[in-house]
A and B are shown apart, each in its own frame.
Chain A
Amino acid sequence: MPSNSPAASDPDPTPSVPADPPGLIELFVAFAKMSLAGFGGVLGWARRSIVDQHRWMTAEEFNETFALCHILPGPNIVNLSFVFGSRFGGFAGGCAAFAGLIGPPMVIATVLAGLYARFGDIDALRRTLAGVACAAVGLLIAVVLRMMWPLIKKRDALGMLILVAVFIAIGVLQLPLHTVVLVAIPLSLVITYFLRMRGAA
């Protein structure tokens, strides 16, 4: 596979560090900006800022880093901030990017939570939030459909089976998350592994 990755021939595993690596404050500010710009998801803004605007990573590096943060548990974009920041500033860099991504929106959310605790009983606000929730659920459904589409297109029967089983276990039977995940992960990985082995043989 020498053709698909220009970095494969490079003996140095460190990625191409840009000429002007960001400092701690710059990391904090950049992640605070993309976080505050992101309504309903920060990923698009992160890509724009890191790849297009600052050129701190190539698109390929960004995709690889995000793929890793996506298969690991926890909030993906938060994981990404720490991994990205630590690449330039070690542990402190990770903390700076993490704090930039989480800090300012957390302050806003806390203020909103305080307002909700105070005024949440007002009927007009209750009705308004109910309407927002309905639309937000629709947006989440759209995200699910968009992510499902590749599985359907590939006719990935195993993937769909896992998807439906997890959906029923969590959504319908309302089983605890850790029980379902601890059963589903090994099962899913073992089956995927053997199918690939058979496919390769």
Chain B
Amino acid sequence: MSGPGQLWTLIWTFGLMSLFAVGGANSAIPEMHRVAVDINHWMTDKQFADMFAISQLSPGPNVLIVTLIGYSVAGIMGAVAATLAMCGPTAILAWYVSGILKRASTSRWPAIIQAGLVPLSIGLMAASALILARTSDLSWMATLITIVAAVLATATRLSPLWMMVVGGLLGFAGVI
């Protein structure tokens, strides 16, 4: 598992994936799982769930799970290559489109596109939650922690960091 071949695979994989990630990095998690676990066998289900956990624990945008996947495939160069491939092309695209829209801002297309795409991106994120639940919630206790966190995050203004810390402590204590 080394050499420039792996780097190109990472760049190609994540560069292409980013163009279809409607709604952001969290929408592409099922595809990341499919590519990293099912197709390329870069990691196990458990390792994928761990990387999601680490990416949520560390500061910065959600897209950092890609950095972790890249590292596990090809070390530091892999981390950098995967991250830039996932972030660069779409950032340039956004820059380009925002330039066009500034000149033709009266169109009603943005509203229609938004109305059409928002449900799609929510569906993708819901699928992400399902895929991750399938890899993480392997016991009744684990499922219960997920449900309680979902309810607390929906109904209260508790910091998400605290919920992850409590989840980690419960895991450490062997409850799961």
Q: Which of A37, A70, A110, A167 contacts B130 (CB 8 A)?
A: A167
Whether B23 contacts A70 by the Cβ 8 Å rule is yes
Q: Which of A62-105 contact B (CB under 8 A)?
A: 65, 67-83, 86, 91, 94, 98, 101-102, 104-105
A113–B110 Cα distance when bound, in Å, is 39
Is B41 part of the binding interface, using a Cβ–Cβ cutoff of 8 Å? Answer: no
Residues of A in contact with B, size category: 35 or more
Is A19 part of the binding interface, using a Cβ–Cβ cutoff of 8 Å? Answer: no
Whether A140 contacts B122 by the Cβ 8 Å rule is no
Whether A139 contacts B160 by the Cβ 8 Å rule is yes
Whether A133 contacts B52 by the Cβ 8 Å rule is yes
Whether B58 contacts A112 by the Cβ 8 Å rule is yes
Is A201 part of the binding interface, using a Cβ–Cβ cutoff of 8 Å? Answer: no
Is A17 part of the binding interface, using a Cβ–Cβ cutoff of 8 Å? Answer: no
How many residue pairs bridge A and B at CB < 8 Å?
383
- Which residues does chain B contribute within 8 Å of A138, judged by CB atoms? 145-153, 163
Whether A140 contacts B132 by the Cβ 8 Å rule is yes
Whether B31 contacts A176 by the Cβ 8 Å rule is yes
Nearest-neighbour CB distance to chain B for A167, whole angstroms, equals 4
Tell which of A21-29, A51-59, A183-191 binds the partner. A183-191
Take A141-B150, A189-B113 as given contacts and tell me if A73 and B122 are in contact as well, using a CB distance cutoff of 8 Å. Answer: no
Residues of B in contact with A, size category: 35 or more
Nearest-neighbour CB distance to chain B for A95, whole angstroms, equals 9
- Which residues does chain A contribute within 8 Å of B51, judged by CB atoms? 113, 116
Nearest-neighbour CB distance to chain B for A165, whole angstroms, equals 7
- Which residues does chain B contribute within 8 Å of A196, judged by CB atoms? 112, 115
Is A11 part of the binding interface, using a Cβ–Cβ cutoff of 8 Å? Answer: no
With both beta carbons as reference points, the residue of chain A lying nearest to B171 in the complex is identified as A131
Nearest-neighbour CB distance to chain A for B22, whole angstroms, equals 6
A120–B147 Cα distance when bound, in Å, is 26
Whether A131 contacts B169 by the Cβ 8 Å rule is yes
- Chain B 19-48, CB within 8 Å of chain A: the 1/0 string? 111111110101100100010000000110
Nearest-neighbour CB distance to chain A for B122, whole angstroms, equals 5
Take A13-B105, A74-B24, A134-B145 as given contacts and tell me if A38 and B61 are in contact as well, using a CB distance cutoff of 8 Å. Answer: yes
A75–B28 Cα distance when bound, in Å, is 10
Take A68-B110, A132-B167, A145-B154 as given contacts and tell me if A109 and B87 are in contact as well, using a CB distance cutoff of 8 Å. Answer: no
* A-binding residues in B (CB < 8 A): 16-26, 28, 30-31, 34, 38, 46-47, 49-64, 67-68, 71-72, 76, 79-80, 83-84, 86-87, 89-95, 97-98, 101-103, 105, 110, 112-133, 135-137, 142-143, 145-154, 159-161, 163-164, 166-172, 174-176
Q: Which 3 A-B pairs have the closest CB atoms?
A: A131-B171, A74-B90, A105-B60
* B-binding residues in A (CB < 8 A): 13-14, 35-42, 65, 67-83, 86, 91, 94, 98, 101-102, 104-106, 108-110, 112-114, 116-117, 120, 124, 126-148, 151, 156, 158-160, 162-167, 169-172, 174, 176-178, 181-182, 184-185, 188-189, 191-193, 196
